[in-house]
Amino acid sequence: MRQDKPIEERLKAKAAEIGFAACGIADADAAPQTAARLQAWLAEGAHGDMLWMEERAEQRGSPKGLWPEVRSVIALGMSYAPAADPLALAEEGEVGRISVYAQGADYHDVVKRRLKELARWLVAEAPGADVKVFVDTAPVMEKPLSEAAGLGWQGKHTNLVSRAHGSWLFLGAIYTTLELASDGPSGGSCGSCDACQTACPTDAFPAPYRIDARRCVSYLTIENKGPIPHAFREAIGNRIYGCDDCLAVCPWNKFAVAAQANLAFHPRAELTVPYLADLLALDDASFRTVFAGSPIKRIGRDRMMRNCLIAAGNSGSARLAPAATALLDDPAPVVRGAAIWALARLDPFRWQEARVARARSEADPQVRAEWDGLDSPAPPR
């Protein structure tokens, strides 16, 4: 690479070589409205039980809050545009839908590795520069920073929309003490489109550009540890891990080229059309084997069983009743509770029999509430 070119240009060429589909630079204080918007969101309680979002809100709200020495933010995007329509299996009752982002390798690992490679290159090119790399888990607001760096704009679904890659970019960031020339926002907007807002199955957008995570299927199936509130169970349909609906309907996706997606994110065959009957048979050890290397492993077997049971209850297929019955005696209360709900819908007669045998001896208050057809009492915060 020719050294006489500016470092920003060489950085972007290196990022592309490493596999990033998008790279832009913002000044560290380029998104000043973010901290106040985050505070307002937290004050509404829209983050639900994601208490880690409250805990380091000061640091999350601005790059300098996290690291006072940071001068520039390098925002990066890696494409995971799917080749197939993510909504195609919506009507397949006996099959679960895993969101596109989780059908391949865990992006936390893949993106982090590439970020580190790019950061190492930068430090070698600019000795004395200090760097920190982030993807998802640190108190960093990747979307507004990516917008400020010109990767796209935050759409009405709140995710970053790119002219070239639609809604299918994983984001990551490198904070550096280097003073780099900023790209500034690229512009772009949703205009009068509201496709994502109307597609949402659980009405999770109180207004355009604002999400109530507590209503989002992604939150309910991944972040939420307890029982899924009754009000959302039917709407969840056969989504067993995350949700793609608001992303999948975005018209900007038509410019996203699936072949540009990183090979690591190509879907694993067994996760594209997973049969609920197979998943419901997993014990802890087989769950770990099937989901090794996948982000799904992070939620653990019990939460995944809970999700699969909700999907089974929505399947309309009595063939799944024996699997639900077997899970009525699962050691995990969250699994037992979901099994009760599923069985009530799949085979009311068998449910009645099971209730007589089990309800009175059930020790867990949330599971007892399920036998009574009630929403689970919320655990204390």
Residues that bind ligand SF4 (CB under 6 A): 155-157, 161, 190, 193-196, 199-202, 204, 211, 216-218, 243, 245-246, 249-252
Q: How far apart are CA 1 and CA 13, in angstroms?
A: 9
Rounded to the nearest angstrom, the gap between the alpha carbon of residue 329 and the centroid of all alpha carbons in its chain is: 30
Encoded tokens for 144: 């507004």
Nearer to ligand SF4, 199 or 359 (CB): 199
136 catalytic? Reply is yes
Q: Which is nearer to ligand SF4, 204 or 328 (CB)?
A: 204
If one asks whether residue 219 binds ligand B12 (CB under 6 A), the answer comes out as: yes
Binding mask 49-78 for ligand B12 (x = CB under 6 A): -x----------------------------
Q: How far is the CB of 364 from ligand SF4 (least distance, A)?
A: 28
Residues 6+ apart with CB under 8 A from 238: 89, 90, 92, 93, 95, 96, 97, 276, 311, 314, 315
State the sign of the Cα–Cα–Cα–Cα dihedral 107, 110, 113, 115. negative
Strand bridging mode 22-27 / 72-79: antiparallel
Inter-residue contact 305 to 345 (CB < 8 Å): no
112 contributes a contact to ligand B12 by CB under 6 A: no
Which has the closest alpha carbon to 171: 213, 108, 214? 108
Does residue number 171 form part of the binding site for ligand B12 (CB under 6 A)? yes
Q: What is the spatial distance between Cα 292 and Cα 303, in angstroms, rounded to a whole number?
A: 16
What number of chain residues touch ligand B12 (CB under 6 A)?
A: 35
Closest contact distance (angstroms) between CB of 295 and ligand B12 is: 10
- Closer residue to ligand B12 (CB): 213 or 276: 213
Least Å from the CB of residue 377 to ligand B12? 23
Query: Active-site residue among 130, 136, 278, 364?
Result: 136
Residue 101 found at the interface with ligand B12 (CB under 6 A): yes
Largest CA distance in the chain: 80
Q: Which is nearer to ligand B12, 24 or 328 (CB)?
A: 24
Q: How long is the chain?
A: 381
What does 195 interact with, of ligand B12, ligand SF4, none (CB < 5 to 8 A by kind)?
A: ligand SF4
> Annotated catalytic sites, by residue?
136
